[in-house]
Amino acid sequence: MALTHDAIFAGRLRLWQPARGSGYRFNLDPILLAGFARPAEHVVDLGAGCGVLGLALLFLGKAERLTAVEIQPEMAELVERNARENGLQSRVAVLSGDLRAVQLPLVDHVVFNPPYFRLGAGRGSPDERRDMGRRERYGGLADFVGRARACLKPQGFASAIVPFNRADELAVAWSHLGGMVRRRRSVCSRAGDAPRHVLFEADLTSHAPVDEPALVVHRDSVRDFTAEVVAWIEGR
């Protein structure tokens, strides 16, 4: 697998990931989720990829320990390599296997940036490894929600980012397991645009969810990021 060595947080966190055409590459979404998430002691990252989301939480001081779950052995090895090369290896455990089958620890926080497309929906990729990151070939949204619920401590919480058209699906799946969405924040490309994604926080209590102001990614008609997104990209 060909790799590239890329930097986030103004170059302070460097990560190996598949080169274009060699597998799934992360985009802005895990950075937004890391910025949205509240701190917790022990975090499980379901479907960790190269480890960008979980390692970002460690780097930002939003987690003390990370358990990363990844089905692709090559990507699980990248999580270990990225943790080691950023000096975080003592705080990271990697579980290589299907998230539906691995034994998970009880933790304070679960995060997931799941495949966005149902199997058979969306445009498939000829690159099998990239397609695994985009479509639900090994577990659907309900599986991610179910496994997140199963490994949470009573006062724990889960955070996720999903397409806007699957927001209700996530909320219903969580409520069926006895929990509630606590916070949600829509993500729009520009002010006034329809939301494209939703950031969620859910837990095991009963309460009315708080709708936070929409997160706007780009300024007006230009591609420049808004000040809030720039701060998250830079790890501030």
Residue 100 has pLDDT above 80, yes or no: yes
Range in 19-28, 83-92, 122-131, 211-220 with the lowest mean pLDDT: 122-131
**What is the pLDDT at residue 74?**
95
| Tokens (6 digits) for 155 | 């006062």
**What is the pLDDT at residue 3?**
93
Q: Parse the chain into domains and list their residue ranges.
A: 3-233
In angstroms, the CA 141 to CA 148 distance is 11
CATH number of the structural domain 3-233: 3.40.50.150
What mean pLDDT is reported for the chain? 90
pLDDT tens per residue, range 157-193:
999 999 999 999 989 999 998 889 999 999 999 998 9
**What is the pLDDT at residue 124?**
53
Q: Between 13 and 206, whose confidence is greater? A: 13
Average pLDDT over residues 105-131: 70
Task: Using pLDDT thresholds of 50, 70 and 90, give the confidence band for residue 135.
Answer: very low
Range in 4-8, 83-87, 97-101, 178-182 with the lowest mean pLDDT: 178-182
Question: How would you classify the pairing of strands 215-216 and 197-203?
Answer: unpaired
Chain position carrying tokens 């991610």: 144
Residue 128 has pLDDT above 90, yes or no: no
| Tokens (6 digits) for 114 | 């799941």
- Name the range with the highest mean pLDDT among 44-53, 128-137, 140-149, 165-174: 44-53
**What is the pLDDT at residue 117?**
56
- Which pairs with CB-CB distance under 8 Å and at least 24 residues apart come from 86-89? 86/13, 86/14, 86/15, 86/55, 86/59, 88/55, 88/58, 88/59
Average pLDDT over residues 117-134: 53
Helix (H) or strand (E) holding 203: strand 197-203
In angstroms, the CA 199 to CA 37 distance is 9
pLDDT tens per residue, range 31-46:
999 999 999 999 999 9
**What is the pLDDT at residue 133?**
47
Residue 122 has pLDDT above 80, yes or no: no
**What is the pLDDT at residue 207?**
76
Average pLDDT over residues 78-86: 98
